[in-house]
């Protein structure tokens, strides 16, 4: 098992390197001349050249990439061009805000999704199953800002029961902060519900059809006992992987929700960086999302191995 985990960590590092190249290319190479992009078409060539030199983009690409990557490894994410300040503290503050919102959505959606999936599987092929499956799938593919707008119109504009902005303002009490996060959490919950329910459903159906479930039923165990002890224990294993993967996705998918509800998280940060052509901030933000996403996937894989006795006892590889 240790070799498997080591191999998995190694692969994650390779992917991380590929990702850093991808982000570097997108933020440093594709925009063409960053000095021109920042200053606009009316700026004088000498001003553009001076800014290019200050940003370091007139040096060879490999050298630029090396400076950028080694800087990040030392905790230096570069200088933000819009704030003229180090990028790091902005990323940190935004990430904490995003995690608060993500945590709230997560705590609600995980039990909901698992229960939905298991109920669908136990009613396999019946209307309850079809409704949960199709509704879950639709909720998953409807963009966050669409469900977000519906939620705002209903609760914020028509009923006026909840605030439509996610920011409670500085020094707000935890209760008030929580109240402001309820509406933004709903679109995220809708998106994740479908994924989690689908996995829980597939896992439960598979273990309902397995030999050990048949044996347990033929042994004369009550259906509730069979489901609790034999079916659920096996079916929830793959679901754990999906749940952890979705944690990373959740943080990425926050861009839309944070922009819509004007919440100061990492998604809003990279959106503002993009609109003001602040490429160091954009690169750092996207890379951070990638890292969080990858760590979540890695943890999910390792958790899956540790929880699965067949793999834990040396069956893997």
State how far Cα 190 lies from the chain centre.
14
Residues 164 to 193: which contact other proteins by CB under 8 A? 164-165
Among 1, 5, 16, 119, indicate the residue that binds other proteins (CB under 8 A).
16
How many residues make contact with other proteins (CB under 8 A)? Answer: 50
Termini Cα distance of the chain: 8
CA distance 7 to 27: 30
- Residues 118 to 137: which contact other proteins by CB under 8 A? 130, 133-134, 137
Instruction: Pick the closer one to other proteins by CB: 134 or 225.
Output: 134
Report the C-alpha gap between 129 and 78 in whole angstroms.
Answer: 51
Residue 142's closest CA among 200, 196, 193, 197?
A: 193
Per rule CB under 8 A, is residue 157 in the interface with other proteins?
Answer: yes
Is residue 26 a contact residue for other proteins (CB under 8 A)? Answer: yes
- Looking at 5, 19, 43, 103, which residue binds other proteins (CB under 8 A)? 19
Nearest by Cα to 247 from 185, 297, 178, 190: 297
| Euclidean distance between CA atoms 200 and 113, whole angstroms | 8
One of 168, 255, 269, 281 touching other proteins (CB under 8 A): 255
Check residue 226 for interaction with other proteins (CB under 8 A): no
Quick one: which of 91, 99, 152, 242 contacts other proteins (CB under 8 A)?
A: 152
Q: Which residues contact 147 (CB under 8 A, 6 or more apart)?
A: 139, 186, 187, 190, 191
Residues that bind other proteins (CB under 8 A): 11, 14-16, 18-19, 22-23, 26-27, 30-31, 130, 133-134, 137-138, 141-147, 149-150, 152-153, 156-158, 164-165, 249, 252-253, 255-256, 259-260, 270-271, 274-275, 282, 286, 289-290, 293-294
């Amino acid at each position: 098992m240790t070799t498997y985990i080591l191999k998995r960590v190694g692969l994650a590092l390779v992917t991380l390197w590929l990702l850093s190249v991808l982000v570097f290319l997108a933020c440093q190479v594709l925009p063409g001349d960053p000095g021109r992009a920042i200053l606009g078409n009316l700026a004088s060539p000498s001003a553009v050249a001076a800014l290019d030199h200050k940003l370091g983009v007139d040096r060879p690409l490999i050298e630029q990439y090396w400076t950028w990557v080694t800087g990040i490894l030392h905790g230096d994410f570069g200088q933000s061009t819009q704030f003229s300040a180090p990028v790091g503290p902005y990323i940190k503050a935004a990430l904490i805000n995003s995690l608060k919102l993500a945590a709230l959505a997560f705590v609600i959606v995980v039990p909901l999704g698992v229960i939905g999936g298991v109920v669908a599987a136990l009613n396999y092929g019946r209307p309850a199953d079809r409704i949960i499956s199709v509704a879950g799938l639709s909720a998953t593919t409807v963009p966050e800002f669409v469900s977000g707008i519906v939620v705002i119109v209903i609760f914020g504009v028509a009923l006026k029961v909840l605030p439509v902005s996610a920011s409670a303002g500085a020094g707000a009490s935890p209760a008030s902060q929580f109240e402001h996060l309820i509406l933004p959490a709903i679109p995220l919950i809708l998106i994740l519900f479908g994924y989690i329910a689908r996995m829980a459903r597939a896992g439960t159906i598979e273990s309902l059809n397995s030999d050990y479930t048949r044996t347990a039923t033929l042994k004369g165990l009550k259906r509730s006992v069979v489901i609790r002890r034999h079916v659920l224990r096996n079916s929830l294993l793959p679901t754990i992987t999906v749940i952890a993967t979705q944690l990373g996705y959740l943080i990425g998918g926050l861009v839309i929700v944070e922009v819509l509800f004007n919440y100061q998280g990492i998604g809003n940060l990279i959106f503002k960086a993009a609109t003001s052509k602040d490429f160091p901030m954009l690169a750092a933000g996207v890379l951070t999302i990638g890292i969080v996403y990858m760590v979540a996937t890695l943890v999910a894989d390792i958790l899956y191995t540790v929880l699965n006795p067949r793999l834990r006892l040396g069956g893997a590889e």
